[in-house]
């Protein structure tokens, strides 16, 4: 940790110590530290796979084999191997201490739950929860992988088509999750942004909602974000490193 961060880290310690209704808002940068490649930007998945073909709801409904090939070659091996990082575990610790109000995530890898987080608001769904469009039977990652080795696109035991539990391009965001996230942002005393560049809606709107309702806003992200100017504290560093410096796991 560089010395320029020392002052900010002690400030963050103080803020966390005096907060007891913390909302943690996690984005792609948080999962990147678990080896999950990001979607956007140079080298991101979408630079190799056009999301308007491989992850678009209209194409998916016509021919889901694009998505399932992408799942088989790119998503399954990465998600299967990924493990929660220190940051995920620190948030579980904050929950145990009774200081964490909600976790809101833009990530679809389900790593918060793997780490033991009980209550996660998922704005873009979850890759691990696959379901049948016909009978709504659910399948996990391994079950789906087995099915798609037999046939592609994979089929439910009822013959129906399977769909990932993620929100594809062209699909509306899950309204219930969005509403819960808004309520959490309105009612927290600390809104902690962790590894999100805050450029995609609704991520971009949440810090302002929190701030307008009296919360302290802290942003920990490798790069600057458009919300830095309204934040009480900005730390341009790895969120999991900073968190594990500030909070010791029990």
List interacting residues with Zn ion (CB under 5 A): 132, 134-135, 137, 156, 158, 160
The contacts found for 236-240 with CB under 8 angstroms, 24 or more apart, are 237/1, 237/5, 238/29, 238/33, 238/195, 239/26, 239/29, 239/30, 239/33, 239/87, 239/194, 239/195, 240/30, 240/33, 240/85, 240/86, 240/87, 240/88, 240/90, 240/195
* Residue with token string 């948080």: 30
Are the C-beta atoms of residues 57 and 171 closer than 8 Å to each other?
Answer: yes
Q: Which of 88, 102, 124, 163 is catalytic?
A: 124
| Residue 166 β-bridge partners | 125
Helices and strands of the chain, counted as H and E runs: 13, 9
124 is catalytic: yes
Nearer to Zn ion, 92 or 148 (CB): 148
Nearer to Zn ion, 17 or 133 (CB): 133
- Residues known to be catalytic: 124
């Amino acid at each position: 940790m560089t010395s320029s961060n020392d002052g900010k880290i002690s400030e963050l310690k103080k803020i966390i110590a005096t907060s007891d209704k913390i909302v943690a808002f996690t984005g792609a940068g948080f999962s990147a530290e678990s080896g999950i490649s990001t979607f956007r930007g140079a080298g991101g998945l979408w630079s190799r796979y056009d999301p308007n073909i491989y992850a678009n709801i209209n194409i998916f409904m016509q021919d889901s084999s694009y998505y399932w090939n992408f799942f088989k070659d790119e998503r399954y091996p990465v998600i299967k191997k990924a493990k929660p990082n220190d940051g995920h575990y620190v948030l579980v610790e904050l929950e145990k201490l009774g200081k964490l109000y909600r976790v809101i995530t833009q990530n679809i890898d389900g790593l918060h739950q793997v780490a033991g987080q009980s209550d996660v608001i998922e704005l873009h769904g979850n890759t691990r929860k696959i379901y049948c469009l016909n009978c709504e039977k659910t399948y996990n990652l391994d079950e789906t992988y087995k099915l798609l080795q037999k046939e592609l696109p994979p089929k439910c035991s009822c013959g129906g088509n399977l769909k990932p539990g993620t929100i594809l391009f062209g699909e509306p965001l899950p309204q219930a999750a969005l509403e819960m996230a808004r309520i959490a942002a309105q009612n927290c005393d600390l809104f902690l942004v962790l590894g999100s560049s805050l450029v995609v809606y609704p991520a971009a709107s949440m810090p302002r909602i929190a701030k307008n309702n009296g919360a302290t806003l802290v942003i920990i992200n490798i790069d600057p974000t458009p919300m830095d100017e309204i934040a009480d504290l900005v730390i341009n560093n790895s969120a999991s490193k900073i968190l594990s410096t500030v909070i010791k796991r029990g």
